[in-house]
Copies of this chain bind each other. A is one copy, B any other.
């Protein structure tokens, strides 16, 4: 399914819904990496640190660490390496809250896209009833509540992170009672993240895209002006020249009130001699996508490869 991709909230180039959503797959993929790193940071057993100076009792720290599951990939126990740091440290909690905050930013961007797509003006998507609210009085409204709440969660995660960073700033070693207040932000971030991901998942799963409206919005030939410049480049013209030539053509179309791809061949030649026969071939969405099959591009094969890669990696 094709829809316009945007920069500056202005239609820029045609992309597919799949390609657009894969951008979020990339973001959430990075979030997973960061969450895994936070988990690894917490995977060191502090038992045996005592009040701050360890203990004179004949304990075996590695044994308790192993029994409690503080082990590396090979099952070897991991114990903290400094008793004072173990008592004073709040890094894993802070790292988790950062991973949640950045994931929250990504969720808020997805939410913003969904809110826009669900507006009367865009009209690209229809969210599932369970995650929208209507009004019997204002029936034209389908409020994208779940996505708005999701957008707001970015603020809440950031607040938890701010809480922990400010809390620990400037404290002398080792334990200070201030640190007792690290639980509310940490637990709230965990609870809200689990909830947010579930809401995003279910909302997306139930969302329908209006194929015709998306396609119509993406079908302005002006969105393919870049492809036309590329066409000139492939014929040997330096990109700077090609850019100017297409600019002239576009100005011509605007002035004469004719869509870019409907200009006559003669008119095209007045813009630049290079607009020889066949220049109109670029005004095909199918051609445009087919020419973008390199890694990371929106061509259907490239997109299919990425989907396959993600399915594989999530298996």
Contacts of A34 in B (CB 8 A): 37, 95
Q: Report the bound CA distance from A5 to B122 in whole Å.
A: 16
Query: A52 interface residue, CB < 8 Å from B?
Result: yes
Contacts of A158 in B (CB 8 A): 162-163, 165-166, 169
Copies in the complex: 4
Asked if B173 and A54 sit within 8 Å, CB to CB, the answer is no
**Secondary structure class of chain A's binding surface, majority of residues:** helix
Known A-B contacts A51-B13, A80-B296, A137-B246; the reply to A8 vs B148 at CB < 8 A is yes
Q: Report the bound CA distance from A309 to B140 in whole Å.
A: 35
Instruction: Give min CB distance, A256 to chain B, whole Å.
Output: 13
A116: nearest residue on chain B (CB-CB)?
Answer: B172
Q: Report the bound CA distance from A251 to B140 in whole Å.
A: 11
Asked if B167 and A162 sit within 8 Å, CB to CB, the answer is no
What is the number of residues of chain A that contact chain B, defined by CB distance less than 8 Å?
Answer: 143
Query: Quick one: which of A8, A27, A153 has the most chain B CB within 10 A?
Result: A8
Q: Report the bound CA distance from A246 to B97 in whole Å.
A: 41
Query: A130 interface residue, CB < 8 Å from B?
Result: no
Contacts of A288 in B (CB 8 A): 56
Instruction: Give min CB distance, A228 to chain B, whole Å.
Output: 9
A97: nearest residue on chain B (CB-CB)?
Answer: B98
Task: Please pick, from B15, B105, B180, the residue contacting A84 in the complex, using a CB distance under 8 A.
Answer: B15
Query: A69 interface residue, CB < 8 Å from B?
Result: no
Asked if B159 and A55 sit within 8 Å, CB to CB, the answer is no
